[in-house]
Amino acid sequence: MGAPRYDIESFLAQISINKQMEIIRTVAELQKKLETARQNGSIGLVPTMGALHAGHKSLVDRARVENDTVVVSVFVNPTQFNNATDLATYPRTEEADRAMLEACGADYMFAPTVEEIYPEPDTRVFELGAVAEVMEGAMRPGHFNGVAQIVSKLFAFTRPTRAYFGEKDFQQIAVIRKMAELEGFNDLKIVDCPILREADGLALSSRNIRLTPEQRTVAPAISLVLRSSLIWAKELSLKEVKNKVIATLNMFPFMDVEYFEIVDAHTMQPIGEWTDSDCPVGCITCYCGEVRLIDNIKYPCAV
């Protein structure tokens, strides 16, 4: 007989959670429910845009373990899309999301309408500084301001003890930390959670379902090349590794690297030498056909 497993994932898989999850559509109702919850303990918030997958589940599982009440927001935020087609084609799967969240034991799914969140246009401009100016910030003008708008609203409505974000969107976490600092969300802990991957290495993303079967077979090349770059980094200069990652990926069919930058994990600023940062991270955005995929890799300190 094998040794019993006591890790939290097998524990969560074995217990059946009977409590009914509530779906909340309005801010007023959310705030009312959370007023009581706050008196009873901590609140964990998992902001999402829906189309939930195992990556989101890992955030909800962690929030479930660490908090008394768990709220998951499911809202495709229009202000963070700078491309109308991307917004229109973003997958919306509310019924499946509801089922997954209920099975995870979330207490509340907050799924408001656009009018509820933005009764009038949000004209706030956040001074996010350098962390928001490079990479995604440079490629998607206005994107991070939109993220700051929605996440600041969710923080204000929910006043969570902890908020959970996936490291696949590595730069987004730095931007949200900056927004939290600017807006004075000082008591709230931002928890960054590791990337979840398919067995072949592809980082889980709601966009993966838009890959054709042929593209899906090629898409894991992104993580494969990033992992290979850990080995290349032992011998090559930072610039050589950068060029090799881009050139190698672009040789695959469907693949078109938009950018690959090696940045400092705190400032998000590109570095020129391995020794320029104690935490270098390689951040990539690569098109696979029409689908824009992102991923990243942490290099050992001072390789």
> Considering the complex, what minimum distance in angstroms separates the CB of residue 73 from ligand PAF?
7
Quote the crossing angle between the two packed helices 94-104 and 54-66, to the nearest 10°. 40
Q: From residue 4, how far is each of 7, 15, 62, 172 by CA, in Å? A: 9, 15, 21, 38
Instruction: Record the tokens describing residue 289, joined without a space.
Output: 């056909």
User: Where in 5-64 is the site for ligand PAF (CB under 6 A)?
Assistant: 47-49
Instruction: Return the number of the residue (34 or 49) whose C-beta is nearest ligand PAF.
Output: 49
Sheet of 255-264, strand order: 255-264, 280-288, 291-298
Q: What is the dihedral of CA 266, 267, 268, 269, to 10 degrees?
A: -140
Query: Among the options 53, 56, 143, 266, which is catalytic?
Result: 56
Q: Determine if 188 is a binding residue for ligand PAF (CB under 6 A).
A: no
User: Where in 152-171 is the site for ligand PAF (CB under 6 A)?
Assistant: 169
Instruction: Return the number of the residue (13 or 114) whose C-beta is nearest ligand PAF.
Output: 114
- Does 56 qualify as catalytic in the annotation? yes
Strands 22-24 and 108-110, how do they pair? parallel
Of the candidates 128, 113, 222, the one whose C-alpha atom is nearest the C-alpha of residue 173 is 128
Q: Decide if 67 contacts 106 (C-beta within 8 A).
A: no
Q: Determine if 77 is a binding residue for ligand PAF (CB under 6 A).
A: yes
> Considering the complex, what minimum distance in angstroms separates the CB of residue 43 from ligand PAF?
17
> Considering the complex, what minimum distance in angstroms separates the CB of residue 21 from ligand PAF?
19
Quote the crossing angle between the two packed helices 170-183 and 143-158, to the nearest 10°. 60
Instruction: Return the number of the residue (49 or 71) whose C-beta is nearest ligand PAF.
Output: 49
Instruction: Return the number of the residue (47 or 105) whose C-beta is nearest ligand PAF.
Output: 47
Q: Residue 284 — φ and ψ, nearest 5°?
A: -130, 145
Instruction: Return the number of the residue (169 or 261) whose C-beta is nearest ligand PAF.
Output: 169
> Considering the complex, what minimum distance in angstroms separates the CB of residue 80 from ligand PAF?
6
Instruction: Return the number of the residue (172 or 296) whose C-beta is nearest ligand PAF.
Output: 172
> Considering the complex, what minimum distance in angstroms separates the CB of residue 116 from ligand PAF?
15
Amino acid at 123: T
> Considering the complex, what minimum distance in angstroms separates the CB of residue 212 from ligand PAF?
23
User: Where in 115-154 is the site for ligand PAF (CB under 6 A)?
Assistant: 147, 150-151
Number of residues near ligand PAF (by CB under 6 A): 10
Q: Determine if 208 is a binding residue for ligand PAF (CB under 6 A).
A: no
- Per CB under 6 A, residues contacting ligand PAF are 47-49, 77, 80, 147, 150-151, 169, 172
Annotated catalytic residues are 56
